[in-house]
Amino acid sequence: MATVELRNIYKYYENTDKPAVSNANFIVHDKEFVVLVGPSGCGKSTTLRMIAGLESISKGELLIDNQIVNDIAPKDRNIAMVFQNYALYPHMSVYENMAFGLKIRKLPKDEIDKRVREAARILDIEQYLERKPKALSGGQRQRVAVGRAIVRHPKVFLFDEPLSNLDAKLRVQMRAEIIALHRRLEATMVYVTHDQVEAMTMGDRIVVMKDGFIQQIGSPIELYDHPVNKFVAGFIGSPPMNFIDTAIKVDGKKVLAVCDGFELELAGDIATKVKPFAGKCLTLGIRPEDLHDDTNNDKNSQVVMADVNIIEPLGAETYVHFTAGSAKFMGKFRSSTTAKPGETKRPVRFDLTKLHFFDCSAEGELAL
């Protein structure tokens, strides 16, 4: 297996000044599973396609296994790619689809047969080898696409939103299968998705992208606990983080976050970090799971009275939407919550140790 290194990579398309990918810098270590995640048009697929060699690199260097591959054709990069629409050859059987890349590379017939049958066994598609792709379900096609990649024994596996075309249930199943496959093959994998749940559950590390720029690189928990800006904070986590505009006020020894409708008295590290912003506006961020449906006040939490707007029962848990003054936020509570729509002045406990602060700009670049 191998490493993939992107050094100051830019991608400009013709007739546009704005780069599709700007200054991409990261290393995918050997045997690592890295997920590129972001909304549509953020440049994640373009980055993957540059690694594959399907898009030219406008500026910067791409290294696979410590060798610069900018000008090396896709076929010579020793990579395999699984596409969003599977890209199975419709006129070939499953066996032929999987064997095609090996035949082109003129491997001996018995070696091809051995590799195809081995991959089919791993992916549990042995009984479909003679079928054409149109006679397979979405999940089976997806497996064939993965099988076509496996047989090649490539240095790097690239996945371009391979689960997007599957229904929700199958997606969860295939997600687990790809994770298991990664462990089994101990392969270097780069995976693109717009689904943050996929990113969180699958990746050893996640690269969050927006408008062509890398926003943050880190493990799923790092991104969840310490987002570098408002975008990452809002993108990672489901349901997304609540954002409330607040003014910082210092009253003697107290450091207060004054929101429209309530005040939070900050303590510890957060108070120290926020203090210099006294008199300024910041955006307070708190995850729905850090709001609690009880009044167990302690020094690390504070109860706020809020009105209940909407209840979304999901079975295992319930999302409760609140309003306090002009601030709107959502709590993720147990299904046993007694909150009812229209209820006024219901206590909600804020976990003060889990507060995040960002500057008030739309990007919220400064995170505290």
Partner 1 sequence: MISKKKIGLIILEFVTALLFVAFIFPFYMVIINSAKTAFEITQYPLSLPERFGNLFTNIVKIWKNEAVRYPASFLASVIITTVSLLLINLFSAQAAWVLARTKTKVSSFIFFIFVAAMVIPFQIVMFPLLSWFRTITNITGIPLLRTYLGIIFSYIGFGAPLSIFLFHGFIKSIPLELEEAALIDGCKKHEIFFKIVFPILKPIQATVLVLNGIWIWNDFLLPLLVLGKGNTIQTIPLAVSNFAGAFVKQWDLILTAILMAMIPIIIFFLFAQKYIVKGMIAGSIK
What is the gyration radius of the CA atoms in the chain, in angstroms? Answer: 25
Number of H helices, E strands in the chain: 9, 20
Using alpha carbons only, give the angle 331, 332, 334 rounded to the nearest 5 degrees.
125
Query: Which of 90, 108, 279, 342 touches partner 1 (CB under 8 A)?
Result: 90
Binding piece for partner 1, criterion CB under 8 A, among 47-55, 192-200, 257-265, 349-357: 47-55
Binding piece for partner 1, criterion CB under 8 A, among 74-82, 223-231, 266-274, 295-303: 74-82
DSSP state of 78: T
Q: How many Cβ atoms from other residues are within 10 Å of residue 266's Cβ? A: 22
Give the nearer residue to partner 1 in terms of CB position, either 79 or 256. 79
Residue 365's contacts (CB-CB under 8 Å, 6 or more residues apart) are: 229, 230, 358, 359
Query: Which of 83, 113, 117, 153 touches partner 1 (CB under 8 A)?
Result: 83
Tell me which residues in 51-70 interact with partner 1 (CB under 8 A).
52-54
Strand partners, 331: 320
Give the nearer residue to partner 1 in terms of CB position, either 79 or 355. 79
Q: Does residue 12 touch partner 1 according to CB under 8 A?
A: no
Query: Which of 85, 297, 335, 361 touches partner 1 (CB under 8 A)?
Result: 85
Give the nearer residue to partner 1 in terms of CB position, either 47 or 216. 47
**Amino acid letter at 348?**
V
CA distance 108 to 311: 63
Give the nearer residue to partner 1 in terms of CB position, either 36 or 214. 36
Give the CA distances from residue 238 to residues 233, 242, 289, 334, 350, in Å, rounded to whole numbers and listed in that order. 11, 11, 10, 15, 18
CA distance 310 to 312: 7
Which residue has tokens 């629409």?
Answer: 85
CB of 73 to partner 1, least distance (A): 8
Give the nearer residue to partner 1 in terms of CB position, either 158 or 270. 158
DSSP state of 335: T
Query: Which of 87, 170, 197, 360 touches partner 1 (CB under 8 A)?
Result: 87
Count of residues binding partner 1 (CB under 8 A)?
Answer: 22
Binding piece for partner 1, criterion CB under 8 A, among 58-66, 80-88, 167-175, 180-188: 80-88
Strand partners, 348: 304
Q: Does residue 267 touch partner 1 according to CB under 8 A?
A: no
Cis status of the peptide bond prior to 239, with omega within 30 of 0? yes
Query: Which of 41, 74, 138, 239 touches partner 1 (CB under 8 A)?
Result: 74
Q: Does residue 80 touch partner 1 according to CB under 8 A?
A: yes
CB of 311 to partner 1, least distance (A): 42
Give the nearer residue to partner 1 in terms of CB position, either 80 or 223. 80
**3-class SS string, 260-282:** CCEEEEECHHHHHHHHHHCCCEE
Contact 285, 233 (CB under 8 A): yes
Give the nearer residue to partner 1 in terms of CB position, either 94 or 282. 94
Q: Does residue 261 touch partner 1 according to CB under 8 A?
A: no
The conformational region for residue 53 under phi > 0 = left, psi -120 to 50 = alpha, else beta, is left
Query: Which of 25, 39, 89, 295 touches partner 1 (CB under 8 A)?
Result: 89
Tell me which residues in 92-121 interact with partner 1 (CB under 8 A).
100-101, 104-105
Q: Interface residues with partner 1 (CB under 8 A)?
A: 52-54, 73-75, 79-81, 83-85, 87, 89-91, 100-101, 104-105, 148, 152
